[in-house]
Amino acid sequence: MPSTTLEFDAILFDMDGTLVDSTAGVVGAWSLFAESYPGINVHEILSSSHGVRTVDNLRIHCGVEDPEELQREAVRFEEAIVSTSSLNGRRGIVALPGAHEIIDDLLSVAKFPKPRWAICTSATRSYASAALNLAGFPLPDVLVAAEDVTKGKPEPDPYLLGAKRCGVPPERCLVIEDAPSGVRSGNAAGCKTLALLTTHSRKQVEDSQPDFIIKDLSSVNMRRTENGIEVEINIASD
């Protein structure tokens, strides 16, 4: 399998679909919300909503426009992801292949005032904290959540803010994403982008034009260098 090795100042991770698999809870939450919004098509939503902020999904698919109601419903939705993820035999919120190993490697990397990795998620801070805990991950020094930006993915704001909080230029960052909207966000921010084939088809991922595509984080090795983080990417061939 061909590989390439690059060095970056910081690694900016997406969360759902990249580090954790919350599919069971997302299915449960949308099924629950179908009771309150009987006109929604859960199957259709699940095929297009990944990587988009909850408030934006509720606005698009449920027609919720009032800002205060949006916030209340977003909280209810993300609480439902956690509460339904293990119901009826569902597998819960779990780590994706290779994710623990990568984060363990990065835990020794410089922290504040010079963090070298961040999580930039479309989830709220409350849900992100709960999901990371359930999947066995520590909270990073830099966590960019939905409420930290006015415009979510595919706009560049989440990754621009992640780079800023790490104190490095975005062009010296590697964004790791599973969702086409997140890849487009990283591209728009000027970062290099590494896409995972964990939630979308290769065609969907390719259409978002990432710099690299791999199966999952088990195809990546990282180590600290004097000036940053060396990333060895084993390029997916399937």
- Residues classed as catalytic: 14, 16
**Quick one: which of 90, 167, 118, 160 has its CA closest to 15?**
118
Q: What are phi and psi of 9, to 5 degrees?
A: -80, -30
Helix, strand or coil for residue 215? coil
End-to-end CA distance of the chain: give it in Å, rounded. Answer: 10
Residue pair 20/95 in contact (Cβ under 8 Å)? The answer is yes
Cα dist from 171 to 97, 186, 227, whole Å: 27, 10, 15
Q: How many CA atoms lie within 13 A of 193 on its CB side?
A: 26
Q: Which helix (H) or strand (E) holds 174?
A: strand 173-177
Q: DSSP code of 234?
A: E
Residues 216, 97: contact at Cβ < 8 Å?
A: yes
Token duo for residue 185: 């966000």
| Structure token digits, residue 67 | 């800002």
Distance separating alpha carbons of residues 133 and 79, to the nearest angstrom: 14
Q: Are 161 and 150 in contact (CB under 8 A)?
A: no
